[in-house]
Amino acid sequence: MKERGLIRAGKHHNYFRIVIETSESNTQKASVVFGKNNTINIDFRSAIRISTSKGDEVKQEKAIDLLKGVRISGSGAKYVITVDGLDDISVSKLSLPSRIVIDAYYLKNSQQAQKDNQPSAADVSVLFNSIVIDPGHGGADIGITGATFKEKEFALAFSRDFGAIISKKGKTAVLTRKSDQSLSLADRIKTANKRNPDIVISFHLSSKPELAVYSYSKALKKLGESSGADADKESGSADHSAALNIAATVKKELSINTRHEKLPLPIIKYTAMPAFVIELPSPDHYKYDKKTREAMMNAIIRGLKTNE
Amino acid sequence: MSRNKAFIIAGLMLVTAVVAGWLIAKQFVSVDQTREAPLIELQNNGKQLAIPKVGPDNTVSVKVYFPDFVKLQTADGKTREAQQVAGLNVVERMVKSDFSPLRVTEAALDEFFKGLGKGFEGAKVAALFKDRHNVVYVDMTAEFLKGFNMDAADEYNLMRAFYRTATANSGAEDIKILVAGKEIESFGGHFFGFYPMKETFGM
């Protein structure tokens, strides 16, 4: 006999809260992944029957509206929730009663954007499937220091959080270093080339109150194309539009000065895939808290939308 | 009969002497032709360098390049006017040196580090030599690395200025940096230090 679950949803300022009440084991086993095309994919690992608070049973063939802009369909172990303009999700698993709580953040103008037949920010935020994140410096190489920070520590913490956001969207994120360790540039490049991700980003700190994006002569490959060094890398005919777009998006969304420059940095030059070095504004000049860090990370992810 | 014998013996001795002489001569010539050039050249074999201008008290003129984040000042604290070359400021200074290109280069690099100031106070050239490919090796004191508290663009321009200062005064084809006699993986965590500088900083 299939286990049962109850789903309900509520609208908040900039997110929908979706709650699924089910048994403790279903709650713990379930995986919730931010998918493509405004979807949240839930896999309970074993079959379950989900009903709405009105008593309607969720089925595969026809999606049920939970709220305006929020729909669910599915059967067995797998269900899909679609949220118009979905930008990000936050997932919690709680007890008494055991339940999964999904906060689905949405973009307010997404419906108009879809009417205009343009990709929404949520679409472009997941254009790469895998990333190697390189926290700059480490170990004896401290990097820039300020009154309250060391670059090696800041880069590691920021990279970890950035990786967590990417993972939450169902993508693969690998860090070149996970602790305060000395790591040569050659080893960072080896890790990136061995993992062969869609993209590499190395995080550093700027000594100035601005964000800098460095690129070299490689073009962003389109999704679906094979990875590896290609003619663009050698020809120097690469475009730097993705780097420019990261800088422009951060400037627009966070109102801070940004800069793009072409530099032959080894982590960019000798990796076989599109790579960027991003220098974040110094904490001496920019206030980092939970909100601004997340806004910075989301702006960088959205800035990669020129991968089209 | 004995006379013929004597001729034959004399002839054999003559042939033996000629062959032996030829073999010995061949050996010496062969060694001389295959010997490699010495590792360290004692004379400049690089680009044509202009003889530096000579000033009073055994001084000669050197060209020193600085990244634009370095404020150039005159002795009385005013901003020094500088010529711009490839995004770098270049100034001509009179330094105590003889005419040896390597000594002039050492003096120019000392001026470079004096001009950089903060962070590089203890940085000095410990040794300087040139290999047979006209690559100049600059062995820096360990204090050199203490000044690299900067972001990637500043580090790039700093090393470009270093490279230009070193090549302009030595006529070298390329520059390789050592620190305390050893190769280093990276200067400030952004660029390789293992390799000669021209490919990355020679632009």
Alpha-carbon gap, residue A226 to A216, rounded angstroms = 20
Q: Percent of chain A at pLDDT above 90? A: 42
Chain A residues close to B200, C-beta within 8 Å: 264
Residue type, A224: G
Q: pLDDT value at position A111?
A: 44
| pLDDT higher than threshold 80 for residue B46 | no
**Using DSSP, how many helices (H) and how many strands (E) does chain A show?**
9, 16
Contact A280, A297 (CB under 8 A): no
- Among B60, B48, B64, which Cα is nearest to B104's? B60
Q: What chain B residue is nearest to A140 in terms of C-alpha separation?
A: B189
CA-based nearest distance A274→chain B, Å: 18
Encode pLDDT of A204-224 as tens digits.
Answer: 999 889 999 998 865 444 433
CA-based nearest distance B200→chain A, Å: 7
Q: pLDDT value at position A133?
A: 96
Residue B155 pLDDT grade (very low, low, confident, very high; cuts 50, 70, 90): very high
Question: How much is the average pLDDT of B18-43?
Answer: 63
Question: How much is the average pLDDT of B100-122?
Answer: 89
Tokens 């995986």 locate to A31
CA-based nearest distance B70→chain A, Å: 15
Alpha-carbon gap, residue A19 to A90, rounded angstroms = 12
- Among A281, A192, A136, A134, which Cα is nearest to B190's? A136
Lowest-pLDDT range of A6-20, A273-287, B123-137: A6-20
- Among A60, A62, A119, which Cα is nearest to A85's? A119
Q: pLDDT value at position B95?
A: 82
Q: pLDDT value at position B15?
A: 92
* CATH code for the structural domain at A3-109: 2.60.40.790
- Does residue A156 sit at the B interface (CB-CB below 8 Å)? no
Are B151 and A206 a contacting pair at CB < 8 A?
yes
Residue A278 pLDDT grade (very low, low, confident, very high; cuts 50, 70, 90): very high
Beta-carbon pairs below 8 A across chains A and B: 50
Q: pLDDT value at position B93?
A: 85
Chain B residues close to A137, C-beta within 8 Å: 189
Lowest-pLDDT range of A10-14, A157-161, A271-275: A10-14
| pLDDT higher than threshold 70 for residue B34 | no
Lowest-pLDDT range of A162-166, A242-246, A290-294, B73-77: B73-77
Q: What chain B residue is nearest to A266 in terms of C-alpha separation?
A: B191
Higher pLDDT, A36 or B78: A36
| pLDDT higher than threshold 60 for residue B18 | yes
| pLDDT higher than threshold 90 for residue A105 | no
Alpha-carbon gap, residue A282 to A158, rounded angstroms = 13
Which of A141, A184, A204 faces B152 most closely, judged by CB atoms?
Answer: A204
Alpha-carbon gap, residue A131 to A167, rounded angstroms = 10
Are B154 and A145 a contacting pair at CB < 8 A?
no
Question: What is chain B's length?
Answer: 203
Are A212 and B151 a contacting pair at CB < 8 A?
yes
Q: pLDDT value at position A2?
A: 74
Q: 102-141 in A: which are within 8 Å (CB) of B?
A: 136-137, 141
Are B152 and A214 a contacting pair at CB < 8 A?
yes
CA-based nearest distance B66→chain A, Å: 18
ipTM: 0.72
Are A207 and B152 a contacting pair at CB < 8 A?
no
Lowest-pLDDT range of A220-234, B29-43, B44-58, B132-146: A220-234
Q: pLDDT value at position A169?
A: 84
Which of B149, B153, B191 faces A145 most closely, judged by CB atoms?
Answer: B149
| pLDDT higher than threshold 50 for residue A263 | yes
Q: pLDDT value at position A120?
A: 38
- What backbone phi and psi angles, to 5 degrees, belong to B195? -105, 155
Encode pLDDT of B136-152 as tens digits.
Answer: 999 999 999 998 889 99
Higher pLDDT, A113 or A66: A66
Residue A108 pLDDT grade (very low, low, confident, very high; cuts 50, 70, 90): low
Mutate to test the interface with B, among A156, A183, A184, A190 (most CBs of B within 10 A): A184
Alpha-carbon gap, residue B134 to A271, rounded angstroms = 31
- Among A220, A224, A198, A228, which Cα is nearest to A128's? A198
Class of domain A125-306: alpha beta
Tokens 């800088």 locate to A247
Encode pLDDT of A45-89 as tens digits.
Answer: 889 999 988 888 998 888 888 888 899 999 889 999 999 888 888
Question: How much is the average pLDDT of B98-110?
Answer: 88
Q: What chain B residue is nearest to A182 in terms of C-alpha separation?
A: B189
Q: What chain A residue is nearest to B185 in terms of C-alpha separation?
A: A184
Return the ∠ at Cα B73 (arms to B68 and B78), rounded to 5°: 125
Alpha-carbon gap, residue B141 to A289, rounded angstroms = 41
Asked, colleague to colleague, whether A3-109 and A125-306 share their fold, the answer is no
Residue B196 pLDDT grade (very low, low, confident, very high; cuts 50, 70, 90): very high
Contact A178, A227 (CB under 8 A): no
- Does residue A177 sit at the B interface (CB-CB below 8 Å)? no
Q: pLDDT value at position B29?
A: 60
Return the ∠ at Cα A298 (arms to A295 and A303), rounded to 5°: 120
- Does residue A182 sit at the B interface (CB-CB below 8 Å)? no
Residue A250 pLDDT grade (very low, low, confident, very high; cuts 50, 70, 90): very high
CA-based nearest distance B116→chain A, Å: 17
Question: How much is the average pLDDT of B41-53?
Answer: 58
At A292 the three-state DSSP class reads: helix
Mutate to test the interface with B, among A207, A271, A280, A285 (most CBs of B within 10 A): A207
Question: How much is the average pLDDT of B23-35?
Answer: 62
Residue A117 pLDDT grade (very low, low, confident, very high; cuts 50, 70, 90): very low
